[in-house]
Chain A
Amino acid sequence: MEFTFTPEEERFRHELRTFLAAQLPADWSERDFLGDVSRDEQRGVDDAVTRALADKGWLALPWAKQFGGLGAGHVQQAIYTEETAYTRMPGGGGAGVASVGPSIQRFGTRAQQEQYLPRTAAGLDRWCTLTVEDDAGSDVAAMQTRAVRDGDEYVISGAKTWVSGAERATYGLLAARTDAKAAPQDGISTIIVPMDAAGVTVRPLDTLAGERDLSEVVFEDVRVPVQNVVGRENAGWYQMQTASDLERSGVGVISTAKANIERLVEAARDDDSLIARNPSARYELADRWIEIQVGFNVSYRVPHLQAQGQQPDQEAYEAKLYGSELTQRVANTGMHLLGLAAQAGPGGRYAKLAGAFSREYLRATAATVAGGTSEIQRNLIAQRGLGLPRD
């Protein structure tokens, strides 16, 4: 048993921190946390960081060298996730590196690999994943977006929603129904769609947190060549299930939680009144601190097992479940500590910590929904992990 990292991993962490300190504006993480960053600045820093990562070969860190990556081990990938989340680094490989690229590597044709992977690893193309629909949320296989074969093309119609990064994506990896008669899971294919194709419309969604980082993407008779299908036609559902080798530690949210609790602890040290008037908030802070430590352990267990060639599905569901709920507890603690002023929005004269926690509090509602609800995680742990019967 060893709770430290190897010298190589420590070297990487150090090099990454140095890199982030050089690439990000000096007060970036603080200003981004406080919401004091304009959309244009956000994009500018995102572009610059993404380019710099690509130059170092870090953008596609986990990919094999032949595809433009460095073949980083699982623990190293988790360290990357941890450090970039802690500094609130914008940019990076996004869905293209995390899920689309690996899918093309595993199931794509050589032509697809040559066409898409180098540009993605170089940060020239950005991707979004187009999977979830209004009526197919947790029940993803119920999707109704159709891709109908017409000669050498698919004609796509339907709508996807809660899509991250759609506005800046050059491509989307779409999951669509290619066999309307088959059982739900047996008629789905994954298809590469250029986001500038005729008939693709991206409509940003206004979220509860007052942000516009999610979109609805509508397809109206969008035509793409049949060779854009990744892997076998109608095997898309099963291909999407094989995510076991990806970075899935969930350590990013733990790291963000740590940074946020550190902010609160610092605020409580600076302003005694926060705790003096609110003694139970002090224990809450201590609890969150402890829970963060538990979270790091639960998260790093995943890459540790992956590095040993195991497939830690249950452990990854546990990490996701734990991290999501911790995110909400941290937001609640922030609100509790700051008292009446906690509700004052960002930038307001009477806000504490510039109102950042009011935003975190609203954002956190998504934590137990996005990427699989906590209910689904518990189902997966119970059914796939513990072997409890489905019915």
Chain B
Amino acid sequence: MDLGLNEQQELLKNAAREFLENECPESHVREMEEDERGYSPVLWGQMAEQGWQGLLIPEQYGGVGFDFLDLTVLLEEIGRALVPGPYMSTVLGGAVPIIEGGSEDQKKEFLPKIASGELIFTLALTEPSARFDEQGVQCAATVSGNDVTLNGTKLFVSDANVADYMVVAARTGKGVTLAIVAKDQPGVTVTSIQTIARDKQCEVVLKDAKGQLLGAEGAGWAILEPVIQKYTVAEAAYLVGLAQMDFEIAVDYAKERVQFGRPIGSFQAIQHKCADMVTDVDGSRFITYKAAWCIASGQPAADTQMAVNMAKAWTSESTRRVVAHGQQIHGGIGFTKDYKIQLFYRRQKRAELAFGDADHHRELVAQQLGI
């Protein structure tokens, strides 16, 4: 039993925190809310220089070859700093599916360019039905050799506005089939959706869009299962970092804000909220680490699946409790756009919903319990 980080993870965490405090301050987060692209190519390049986009990519394909637990540690920092842009889309939605299901040629073609920051990817999974399961994939595909033609609408596709390629989940007579689809082609229309996090989620309409097969026809869901597991835990890790920072800001504020002649943090009503926040944040962190550890260390499939569902079910709600307390502790100023705490509140909801909210995962836990 060792719930601590190893030396490499400590280094990664400290380096990421220092880098992001300098390069991704609150002003940058706000700026990107208004930016059409929603990310800074300069920051993106700096992240690539540090090996972040290639963290999971094996060295032979230009990456760093770290494991999933290491990525979890980094994602916590990314959540803490609310880093805007297509990092998760590219790493979890692009690199991971290609590592899981790509041909040698595809790995050679795409992975080095992802690692170098040259290519932005995203995963086009969900549709208007808003389901995360296999049955939710209804977008139509026809396969001819290595070529795939796609028709349908994918919804809430993160960062499709800036993606060079999308990994699209579609359906042929043989079942769910994946395709790597270049965005810049006549058959692809991308429209941004206005979301409360002001991130860049999009509607993607595919009309005879052309792509290349990723994995075998009909084998798409088998490739997606580990991708979805990792993406789910990644969102949980992002939430842990986000909630940790929200909590720290709220505690600092409680120490400084004076009402009735004393810091509000001296009132038990506020203290107890802070105590609940830290208990929730810590609970979130370790159940997320447990799921990440299951993935990274190759625990039995059933245990891993359960751990992933438990982690997202828990963090989805515990971090919502945390950010709600964060708002309440800030009182009126928390409701103003000028103050930073609301940035966390709005983004928590995005990640809470991504890859299934608590009910989605709770249902899966119940099924696995045999009830």
Contact = CB atoms under 8 A, between A and B. Distances in A.
A4 interface: yes
A290 B313 contact: yes
Contacts of B365: 286, 289-290
A297 B366 CA distance: 21
Given A304-B3, A321-B279, A388-B274, A285 B371 contact: yes
Nearest to B270: A388
Interface stretch (A101-109, A178-186, A371-379): A371-379
Contacts, number: 144
SS class of chain A's interface: helix, strand, loop or mixed?
helix
Contact of B282 (A4, A318, A386): A318
A75 B313 CA distance: 28
A290 B254 CA distance: 31
Interface stretch (B125-133, B215-223, B261-269, B334-342): B261-269
B69 A285 contact: no
Given A1-B6, A301-B3, A388-B265, A283 B359 contact: yes
B274 A265 contact: no
Interface string A301-324: 101100010000011011001100
B293 A265 contact: no
A278 B4 CA distance: 41
Contacts of B301: none
A383 interface: yes
Interface residues of A, number: 48
Contact of A378 (B4, B272, B286): B272
A298 interface: yes
Interface residues of B, number: 44
B78 to A, nearest CB: 19
Contact of B5 (A1, A269, A382): A1
Given A378-B276, A388-B265, A290 B310 contact: yes
B219 to A, nearest CB: 31
Contacts of A158: none
A73 to B, nearest CB: 11
A381 B265 CA distance: 12
B108 interface: no
Interface string A270-295: 00000100000011011101110110
B272 A3 contact: no
Interface in A346-390: 375, 377-379, 381-383, 385-390
26 contacts: A1-B3, A1-B289, A2-B1, A9-B1, A265-B369, A268-B371, A269-B370, A283-B362, A286-B363, A286-B365, A286-B371, A290-B313, A290-B365, A293-B307, A294-B283, A297-B286, A300-B1, A301-B3, A304-B1, A317-B275, A318-B279, A379-B272, A381-B275, A385-B278, A386-B278, A387-B251
Interface of A: 1-5, 9, 75, 265, 268-269, 275, 282-283, 285-287, 289-291, 293-294, 297-298, 300-301, 303-304, 308, 314-315, 317-318, 321-322, 375, 377-379, 381-383, 385-391
- A-B pairs with the 3 shortest C-beta distances? A382-B271, A297-B286, A378-B275
